[in-house]
Amino acid sequence: MRLFVLLFLVSALITAGVRMVLVRRGLLDFPNSRSSHSVPVPRGGGVGIVVVFLSSVVWILSRNLIPARLAWALVGGGLAIAIVGFLDDHFELPPWPRLAVHTLAAGWALWCLGAMRPLQPGNSGFILTWVARAAALGALVWLTNLFNFMDGIDGLAGMEVVLVSVFGAVLMIQDGLPDYSRLSWSLAAASLGFLVWNWPPAKIFMGDVGSGFLGFTLGTLALFSSRSKPELLWPWLILLAAFLVDATVTLLRRTISRARWYDAHCSHAYQHAAQSCTSHAKVTLAVTAINVGWLLPLAWAAYRFPQAAPAFAAVAFVPLVLLTLRFKAGREQSLSVAALRD
C-alpha cells in the first residue's frame, strides 16, 4: 500500500511538472472539428505514467520479484512505443512508421515472453505454433493502437487502466502470482496520479506517449499472466471488453464503408455518447459502472469456472456490441466542441 501511495503521488507531481513545461512552451492541443474539447489543453501528460511505471519495474526486478525477461519485455517495448508516441504528439508522424515501431515492440515482448514459456499450445506442431504467435502479435499491436483510439474524452482511458489493472492484480493474487501483481498495482497507481489532472474537465491530455504505452503494457501483462496461468486469459479479455468492443466495431464499420481507419475521426460509440449527453464525466462514469457492475463479476465468474469462461465472455461482449451499435459506432459525426463542457 505504501508503494502504491508513493507511486500515485510521484505520478501526480510529474504530471503537474510536465503540464507546466508544456504550457510555458505553448505545446497545446487546439480544438478542431474532430475534437471533444473546447479550449486549448497541453498534450503529453502520459510521460509521467511511463516514467513512474518503468521505474517501478526496475525496482521490482532489483528485488528479484519478477523474471528478468518480463522486465525487458515491458521496459524495451514500452520505451520504444512511448518514444514514438512522444514524437507523434509533437511532430505528427505518418501512421506507418508508428505501426512499424508498434509491431517491432510487440515482437520484442513476445520474444521475451516466449523465452520463459513457449507460445504454442502443447505440442500441436510447427504451423499452429506460428499461428498462435501471429495471433498474439496482432492482438498486442491492436491493443496498443486501440487505447490511442479510445483516448478521446477526459478521464476515459485513465480510468479504464486503473480499473483493469486493479482487477487484474486481484486475479493474479488469487491465482498465486502475488509478486507479478505488483506490476498491475504500479500501473494502476501511475495512471491514477495522471487521472488527478485528466479528470473532466482535463487540465492535460495523455497523448500518444501514454495511450499506446498503456495498451502495450496491459497486453503484455495479460499475455504473461495467462501463459503462467492459462485460466486468466478469458478474465483479462472480459475486463478489457468495453474498449475492445468499441474500438473493434468502429474499425470494422469504417473499413466496410471504405474509410481510412488510421485517419483521425470522431465516430466511436463513446464519442457519440459524449455528444448526446454533452458531458465527458457522464460517459466516463457510465463506462466505469459497466466495468464494475457488469464486466468485473463476469470476469470473476470466468476465473472461478474456467470451463464456462467462453460463455461468460459471450454474455459480456454481446450486450456491449449492441450498445456500440445503438450509439452508431463507426458513423462519422461533426462534433460541436462548444457543447462538450463539463
What is the Cα–Cα distance from 253 to 291, expressed in whole angstroms? 24
User: What would the DSSP string read from start to end of 127-162?
Assistant: HHHHHHHHHHHHHHHHHHHHHHHH--STTHHHHHHH
The count of domains in the chain is 1
Task: Report yes or no: 106 and 137 within 8 Å, Cβ to Cβ.
Answer: yes
**Domain boundaries, position 149:** 2-241
The DSSP letter of residue 13 is: H
**For residue 109, pLDDT beyond 70:** yes
Identify whether 152 is part of a domain. yes
Residue 56 belongs to some domain of the structure: yes
pLDDT exceeds 50 at position 341? no
**Nine cell digits for residue 323:** 450498445
Instruction: Quick: pLDDT tens for 188-228.
Output: 999 999 999 999 999 999 999 999 999 999 999 999 999 88
Which pLDDT value is given to residue 119? 43
Does the residue 201 lie in any domain? yes
DSSP letter, residue 335: -
d(C-alpha 340, C-alpha 335), whole Å: 8
Residue 43 has pLDDT above 50, yes or no: yes
d(CA 223, CA 139) in angstroms, rounded, equals 10
Is there a domain that residue 300 lies in? no
Quick check: is 258 in a domain? no
CB 314 within 8 A of CB 13: no
Name the grid cell of 189. Answer: 497507481
Q: 288 lies in a domain?
A: no
Given this model, what pLDDT does residue 120 score? 45
pLDDT tens digits along 247-289 = 999 999 988 888 776 677 788 999 999 988 888 999 999 999 9
pLDDT at 1: 76
In this predicted model, what pLDDT tens digit does every residue of 277-326 receive, in sequence order?
888 999 999 999 999 999 999 999 999 999 999 999 999 999 999 999 99
pLDDT at 38 over 90: no
For the beta carbon of residue 36, count every other beta carbon within 10 angstroms: 21
Closest by Cα among 271, 298, 299 to 287? 271
**What are the CA-CA distances from residue 278 to residues 230, 274, 275, 282, 330 (Å)?**
42, 5, 5, 9, 19
The predicted structure's pLDDT at residue 34: 59
Q: Is residue 38 part of a domain?
A: yes
Whether residue 312 lies inside any domain: the answer is no
**What's the mean per-residue pLDDT of the chain?**
90
pLDDT confidence bin for 337, thresholds 50/70/90: very low
For residues 172 and 180, the answer to whether their CB atoms sit within 8 Å is yes
C-alpha cell at 336: 460541436
